[in-house]
Structure 1
Amino acid sequence: MINLTATFFGLGHLRPASGTWASLAAALLALLAMNQGFYWLVPVGAVLATLLGFWAVPLYLRGTSDTDPSEVVIDEVAGQWIALSFTAIPAMNHSLDIGLWWGAWPAWVAPFLLFRLFDIWKPWIIGQADRRHDAIGVMLDDILAGLFAGIGSVVLAGLYHAVLQPWLM
């Protein structure tokens, strides 16, 4: 159970870029939930993945010298779902149709890309969390990257709707 959780059912063993594969799988699962009208599953999933990650990662790392093995991807899943919660919650509150590949595609593409950017680049406190070199750091850097990505996607949406959209009409 620890291995399945830490590797998100084995997705962490995909190569190359296991974190990107896990993020993509998380985004697709979130889109599937939102497309079926279950927007609330995205933030609930984010909380569950975070809690499961804080449980599984320390147990998975026990007895190994690698403090952040590439196959551990539950942190990417949690972070991606945190980022997409900034889309799912407003969409749910305003009864918006996100659509799987059409419609409001920037609403899920922006958080996905911003999350990957912050997770790879690791600016500011994201990098500080990553440099902890422990199980908490494994989870914390992706949680922070998810928060930054979610906030960034809200800022981009605001700029688009308040600044660009009126000029385009």
Structure 2
Amino acid sequence: MTRTLANMIATVGGTGYLKPAPGTWGSAVAVLMALALHYLGGVTLLALATVVVFFVGWWATAQVTAGQDDHDPSEVVIDEVAGQWIALLVTSYGASRMGIDPLKLYPGWIAGFALFRLFDITKPNLIGWADRRGDALGVMLDDVIAGIYAAIGTAILAFLYHVVIL
């Protein structure tokens, strides 16, 4: 029972089994989930859910990968959810602060998605370090760091557009 629950969480209800590019599928589902969370409770709910998903994802990843040689199997995509949600917090915050429909800030959602995938795939500096840990915490941390990088990139792009260009 515990292993089945952990697998459902780690694969985000089976999303991790979609091919090709399960990480991209997991990130796409995470964007939809983030939008739903934003509509339900704004940036506060998204931020709280991100923290919960990190810890639950860490547990589920540890359960699923216990005794395996592969510490980060491709079907485990709960880490993408945590990282993607971090990347999207900037846009969710902007929509909450301005009191507007978050879809009006769709370029921010797209930028957060694209930048997160870029950093998650290329794994520069700290992201690569976390990935090389070889444990469940490393699986989660590399995506958290990629999410932070993507959030910073999204904020910079928003600043450039709203302050410099306009």
- Given that 2:91 and 2:105 are in contact with CA atoms closer than 8 Å, whether structure 1 keeps it comes out as no
Aligned equivalent of 1:118: 119
Aligned partner of 1:159 in structure 2 is 160
CA contact (8 A) 2:95 2:105 kept: no
The CA deviation at 1:37 is 5.4
Looking at structure 2, the residues matched to 78 and 139 of structure 1 have their Cα atoms a distance apart, in angstroms, of 8
Write the distance in 1 (CA, Å) between the matches of 2:35 and 2:142.
23
Matched with 1:134 is 135
How far apart are the structure 2 equivalents of 1:86 and 1:60? 31
Partner in structure 2 of residue 107 of structure 1: 108
Residue 33 of structure 1: which of 34, 37, 52 is its match? 37
Structure 2 counterpart of 1:114, one-letter code: L
Aligned equivalents of 2:159, 2:63: Cα separation in 1: 41
Unmatched runs of 5 consecutive residues or more in structure 2: none
The one-letter code sitting in structure 2 at the alignment partner of 1:12 is: G
CA distances 1:66-94 after superposition (whole Å, capped 9, x unpaired): 11100000000110011111211232122
Q: What's the counterpart of residue 84 of structure 2? A: 80
Q: Work out the CA distance in 2 between the residues paired with 1:50 and 1:89.
A: 19
Q: Is the 8 A contact 1:30 1:41 kept in 2?
A: no
2:65 is matched with 61
Q: Deviations over 1:96-140 (max 9, x none)?
A: 2222xxx32112111110000000011110111111111111111
Residues 127-168 of structure 1, C-alpha deviation per residue, up to 9 Å, x if partnerless? 111111111111110000001101110011001111111xxx
TM-score computed with the length of structure 1 as normaliser? 0.90
Question: 1:5 deviation in Å?
Answer: 0.8
Please report the RMSD computed on the Cα atoms of aligned residues, expressed in angstroms: 1.3
Q: Secondary structure in 1 aligned to 2:108?
A: helix
Instruction: Look up the match of 1:23.
Output: 27
Ranges in structure 1 where 5+ consecutive residues have no aligned partner: none
Q: Does 1:6 align with 2:6?
A: no
Moved more, 111-120 or 88-97: 88-97
Q: Give the counterpart letter for 1:28 in structure 2.
A: L
Percent identity of paired positions between Structure 1 and Structure 2: 50
Any idea what SS the aligned residue of 2:105 has?
coil
Q: CA contact under 8 A between 1:12 and 1:70: conserved in structure 2? A: yes
Q: 1:58 to 1:37 in 2, by over 3 A?
A: closer
